[in-house]
């Protein structure tokens, strides 16, 4: 996967997802189709329960749809085996979550190095890459801070540095500003904007905040598991 701008990166066609909870059937996605090109910055909006996280989990290869197609760079994801999916999750996609998900009692550096440990990168290179990633999010001066010594906004920036450390071509961020104050939220969005503009990383961001969505280039609006609106915010 590369960062070629404007080539088709993601295409989903008639995606559905049904959760079965005993007798209860929850239809989370009811036929969702859209395309994401390399270099896009897409905001997915919609009220709570409209299926945004369900869609992100499928795009991130963390879950499978009930029906429909998901093509990642032209490859049908349902045809990939566990090993190939794990490779995509580790190397191609960076994840950022609402709750930061950093390890406690661990420094910023160690948190960022974690994805590199899984791929057996030698210590020196690990340190260098983690430092570069932390510098990209403006936290070079916080590398030895433990998780609890960082503000919420800083923790989220460490999480972004961790998502970046394997040089992904896509970042998936599910409500990344949902647990930080508005000033930190704006700083986080400026980082995403820079990664998109300068590094050509494709960004898919879930938010219910209109101000946050304005940082994106395109927007799709969800309601009850369906896309009800598509908008180009800027080119
Ligand atoms: P959003 O992220 O837009 O708030 P979700 O994708 O989390 O929405 O949820 C969409 C719908 O699917 C909701 O009605 C939710 O209760 C249901 N849902 C989500 N995850 C599960 C699950 N693992 N099992 C059962 N139902 C789920
Ligand atoms: Mg959600």
- Taking CA atoms only, the protein residue closest to ligand 1 atom 22 is 19
Sort strands 67-72 and 8-21 into parallel, antiparallel or unpaired: antiparallel
Q: Please tell me if the CB atom of residue 120 comes closer than 6 angstroms to any atom of ligand 1.
A: no
Q: Please tell me if the CB atom of residue 54 comes closer than 6 angstroms to any atom of ligand 1.
A: yes
- Taking CA atoms only, the protein residue closest to ligand 1 atom 24 is 19
- Taking CA atoms only, the protein residue closest to ligand 1 atom 27 is 19
Produce one character per residue of 26-39: b if its CB has 16 or more CB atoms within 10 Å, e if not.
eebbeebebebbbb
d(CA 202, CA 5): 9
Closest ligand 1 atom to Cα of 55: 6
d(CA 180, CA 114): 23
Which ligand places an atom closest to the C-alpha of 98?
2
Q: What is the pTM of this model?
A: 0.95
Give the model's pLDDT for residue 3. Answer: 57
Residues contacting residue 164 through CB under 8 Å, at least 6 positions apart:
94, 133, 136, 137, 171, 195
**DSSP state, 103?**
P
Asked if residue 13 lies in contact with residue 68, where contact means CB atoms within 8 angstroms, the answer is yes
- Taking CA atoms only, the protein residue closest to ligand 1 atom 16 is 49
Give the model's pLDDT for residue 118. Answer: 84
Which ligand places an atom closest to the C-alpha of 59?
1
Q: What is the pLDDT along the chain (235 residues), one digit of tens a residue?
A: 445 678 999 999 999 999 999 999 999 999 999 999 999 999 999 999 999 999 999 999 999 999 999 999 999 999 999 999 999 999 999 999 999 999 999 999 999 999 999 888 999 999 999 999 999 999 999 999 999 999 999 999 999 999 999 999 999 999 999 999 999 999 999 999 999 999 999 999 999 999 999 999 999 999 999 999 999 999 8
- Taking CA atoms only, the protein residue closest to ligand 1 atom 15 is 49
What's the 181 CA to ligand 1 centre distance in angstroms? 25
What's the 49 CA to ligand 1 centre distance in angstroms? 6
């Amino acid at each position: 996967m590369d960062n070629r701008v404007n080539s088709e990166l993601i295409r989903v066609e008639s995606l559905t997802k049904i959760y079965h909870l005993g007798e209860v059937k929850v239809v989370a996605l009811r036929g969702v189709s859209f395309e994401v090109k390399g270099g896009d910055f897409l905001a997915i909006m919609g009220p709570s329960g409209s299926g945004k996280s369900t869609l992100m989990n499928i795009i991130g290869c963390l879950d499978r749809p009930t029906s429909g197609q998901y093509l990642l760079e032209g490859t049908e994801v349902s045809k990939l085996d566990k090993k190939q999916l794990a490779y995509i999750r580790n190397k191609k996609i960076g994840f950022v979550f609402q709750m930061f998900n950093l390890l406690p009692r661990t420094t910023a550096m160690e948190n960022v190095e974690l994805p590199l440990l899984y791929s057996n990168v030698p210590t020196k290179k690990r340190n260098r890459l983690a430092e570069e990633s932390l510098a990209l999010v403006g936290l070079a001066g916080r590398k030895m801070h433990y998780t609890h010594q960082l503000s919420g906004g800083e923790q989220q920036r460490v999480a972004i540095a961790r998502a970046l450390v394997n040089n992904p071509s896509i970042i998936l961020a599910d409500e990344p500003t949902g647990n930080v104050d508005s000033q930190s939220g704006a700083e986080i969005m400026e980082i995403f904007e820079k990664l998109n503009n300068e590094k050509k990383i494709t960004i898919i961001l879930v938010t219910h905040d209109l101000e946050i969505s304005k940082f994106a280039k395109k927007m799709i609006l969800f309601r009850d598991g369906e896309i009800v609106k598509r908008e180009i915010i800027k080119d």
